[in-house]
Structure formats: structure tokens, C-alpha cells
Chain A
Amino acid sequence: MSRAEKLTDQILERIKGKDVKVKREDILRRMKLLIEEFKVPESEAVRTIMNYLVREYGIPREELFDRDSPLVKIADISKVNQWVSLRAKVVQLWDSNSPNVSQVGLIGDETGIVKFVVWAKASQPEVEEGKSYIFRNVVTDSFQGRMQINVTRTSRIEEIDEDIQLPPREIEVVGSMVAIQQNSGLVKRCNECGRVLNKGVCHQHGKVEGYDDLRIKAVIDDGENVYEIILNEENIKELTGIGLDEALKIAHETLDRNAVLAELKNMLLGRYFRVKGLRGGRYLLVKEISVHKPKADDFNEILEALA
């Protein structure tokens, strides 16, 4: 295949599937003329033909020129300011308190997990936890020494019908619950996006009525590291016996929604838990959590070592 033919086919590949009939011979003839006869540099030849397509066939300019960034794996992201495309699953979203941020959380593929930020200015459709997408033309960045992905105005997010597998980065820690953070307990979530409301306000959807939910953002500390975890209603009920219904009852009886948090703190703070979860970005994603108790053998082991 000649160079002219190759370039012609590459151009045709770009407009494949678009509702235009372009004759290959027409393009090839022009390409040959430009490259073989007039010895125009390849890039100039391609540009000239693309311009011709825009003019003669009415193909939108950006569809031809907006070349998608290369598809890469998360593990291969190591430099900032690289434009890339990723096939990734939304691992977790967390609440952002910045009005400049539309969504923030973690996305992952088979090779790794990375934080991603969708800037409010990007006006992108919202993504959902657990769903997989192609994130086209996103730019790499670094924040506090860690890589992250920024979704900007020129990015494109397309949902894909595929469940992308995440890397096995499961860890297990035994530690004490040393703190329960704000916005825990009986919370209200936005009816539209499910994010936790701050004084009845969703930063995306403004003042909304919201619905009740139970959750805890806590810090597990094993004396060496701290892990931030989020417990959902199911986790909380399993650990304390207090589910959403009981929580609403407590709030109703005490006329105080904060009473639920106080009760949960009393039952959970200072205790030891064994937590199994995925380590990624800011949070340890809880898969299992249970109360941890010591065994007599553990004592004997150290005592023998001491003897």
C-alpha cells in the first residue's frame, strides 16, 4: 500500500460511521497529487484534505481535528499534564465541599486506582459508582504527591456496557476507631444525586428536601497508619443494631437528629475493629468490618519472646 493510500484510509477511518458519503478515489487522487507530485509535507497534505472535507461535505471541524488522546492504563500514568483516555470504573465518589468541583472520587481499571476530579466548569454528565466509562481526553495532574485525573471541558465521558475489573488491592487492618467525622450519623441525601446535604443544601442541586440515610465517616488508627473509612447503613446496623428505622426513632424520641450520632459514638469510638477493604486514594473502601478481640495465644507468643 502506498503512503498516499495509507493516509487516505486513516482519514476515512475518522469519518467512518458518520453520515457522509465520501468517495475514496476522490480523496486518494488529491492525496497523490499533494504528496507525490507537489511533494507537500504529509501533515500539510492531510490538513488540506481535512479542510476540503469540512468545506465540501459539511463535516464538523472538531470531529475531524479533535483527535482522541491515546487509551492508557492507570498504572502507566506517571507524568503530569498528559492528555490520555481511560477505560475505568467509578470505584467511589465522595462529597466535595468546593463549588468548583462537580464530582470527585476514585476510578480504577485492572492496573490501578486513581483519584479523579470533574471540574464544575467542565459541565459533564454525572457518573455513578460501580459503572464503567471511557474517560476521553482527560489530563493527568498531581495533588499532594499523588497522581490524579482531571476531567475538563474538552473531555468526554461515555458509559460503556462492561464491568471493568479492579486490581486486587485488598488489605486488612486491625485498629481502633479514634474519631468519627462530621456529617456522620443520620444524614439527608440529595434526591437527585444522592450526595449528603450540608444544612439542606446540595452544592450541585441547591436546596432540596432530601431523604434520610445513615452513614459514618470514621478514622481507624492502628498505631502506625490512619485509615478513613465510610460505613453504610448495613455496616452500622451490623455493628450496633441501629439501622435507619431505629435511628429515626431515636431522633423522633429525643427531638434531636444529633442524638443518633452521640449514641453511635458511644457504641463505636475507642473499640477495635478488623476492617477488610480496598486501599485507594483517601478512603479505605470497607468490604467487611467486625469487632476485634484478643486471643490468649497472642499474649503467650510475646511472653515467650520476652523470656
Chain B
Amino acid sequence: MMRRREVAKRVFAYELLRSTHQIESEGLRYVLTPTGERVNRIFSVAVLLDKEEIGADTNNWRLRLADPTGTFYATVGKFQPEALEAINEMNVPELVAIVGKPRVFEGVSRKLISIRPENIVAVDLSVRDYWVLETARRTLERIEAMEKREGEDVELAWTVYDPDLNEYREMVKKALLTVKEDVEIMEKLEESPHEDEPEEEFDFEEFEFEEEEFDLTDLLED
């Protein structure tokens, strides 16, 4: 029987980093986040800060990524061929959209979360801006559900994490403010493309030239 494709959830790095509880259900693995989201697949837009090959010529990469709320890790290997191909060709830093599966590992002193990307692709700022907007919306919806204590996963999140919801509200606010200014500038630019673009002045002082070489009068007359 065909299984319905799992939806890619929107979660900020700040919340993702604090997600340590895994749920197994009907053969699928989910990570439960502190605001009660059940995540099998994630969609994130972040800056790829660093890519590091784990061991020489292994073609296993550890990626460090950051969104406006925090930094998280992803690992790419041969089982993610599309992402691997993209990573091999990508230079850092680069703004990327990433679809992948979160996994929780037992570290030495604590649990760590990492993403296994299915695909990763360079995108422009407007994608990041919209992602922040929709992730903010989703997170606030979840915070509301937590307050109303709606649903099984919400109850579980309270039990496992007992989160300070104001902390998450603050995080959402911070993310929105970081990006808002950017969006406003883009809007202004689109309305009047040249208004805010000051002509850059060329600094002739540092430039020595021999007049003859730059006399193009002959060319113009031709």
C-alpha cells in the first residue's frame, strides 16, 4: 500500500536544537519538538556556514547551518545522492533551502539533533524571508495549542519538555524582526528601483593613468 508522503514541518533552529524526544509510530520515526510538533520531515531555509568532510575522501559531509534563531548540523552521505551532489558543488557561505529528516543521537554528555537532507539547493533572500514568516506563524499556532493543551502530542511535549512558552514567543519575535527590515527594503526597491541606489563615486585619486592610452576619440569618430 502506498504511504502518504509526510509533510515537511517548519521549525526554527532554536526549537529544533531543543528537540530530543523521538517517537516510533507505524514504522516511521518522528522527533517531538518542545511546542508539540511531530516531525518526520523538515523544511528549513538557512545559511550554510561550513561544510566539512568527515574523514578524508569519505564523501560524508558535516554541514553547519544557521537560521536567525540558531545553528544546527546536518550530515550528508551516499544515501542522500541528490544532496551529496549539490554539496559537492556548493561553496560556503550560501543561503540554502533544505528538506530532510531529523535524527536524535546520544552524544557524550547530552542528546544531539542532526538533519539528513534529502535535497539542498541554493536560494535567494525572499525564500528565507517567507520561510521565517511561515515558520513564525506555525510556531505561534503551536504555542497556542500548547496553552490550550490541545491534543496528544501537546500533552507529551508538556511532560517531556515543560517548556517556557514566553521564551519561544521571544524567539519568534526576534526572528521576525531580523527579517522584516530586509523585506521592507526589498519592497521599496521594487516600487522605485533607482531611488535608493546612490551612484557609487569612483575614486580617481588612487588612479594614475597616462592620458594618451585612454584617448578614445578616434574610436568614437569611426
Contacts and interface: CB of A to CB of B under 8 A. Distances in A.
Interface string A267-307: 00111100000000000000000001111101110110110
Contacts of A178: 8, 41, 43, 99, 119
Contacts of B169: 306
A137 to B, nearest CB: 28
Interface stretch (B21-29, B59-67, B125-133, B155-163): B125-133
Nearest to B170: A306
Interface residues of B, number: 43
Contact of A265 (B121, B180, B187): B121
A224 interface: yes
B32 interface: no
B74 interface: no
Contact of B7 (A221, A295, A300): A221
B9 interface: yes
Interface in B38-89: 41, 43, 45, 82
Contact of A272 (B1, B118, B127): B127
A225 interface: yes
A295 B187 contact: yes
Overall SS of chain A's interface: mixed
Nearest to A293: B126
A78 to B, nearest CB: 22
Contacts of B137: 302
A299 B7 contact: no
A266 interface: yes
Given A296-B183, A299-B179, A144 B99 contact: no
A270 B118 CA distance: 11
A271 B187 contact: no
B2 interface: yes
A168 interface: no
Contact of A303 (B7, B43, B126, B173): B173
Contacts of B96: 270
Interface of A: 144, 176, 178-179, 219, 221, 223-226, 265-266, 269-272, 292-296, 298-300, 302-303, 305-306
Interface of B: 1-2, 4-5, 7-10, 41, 43, 45, 82, 96-99, 118-119, 121-123, 126-127, 129-131, 133-134, 136-138, 140, 169, 172-173, 176-177, 179-180, 183-184, 186-187
Closest 10 CB pairs of A and B: A270-B97, A299-B180, A294-B130, A269-B121, A293-B126, A178-B99, A270-B121, A296-B184, A223-B10, A221-B8
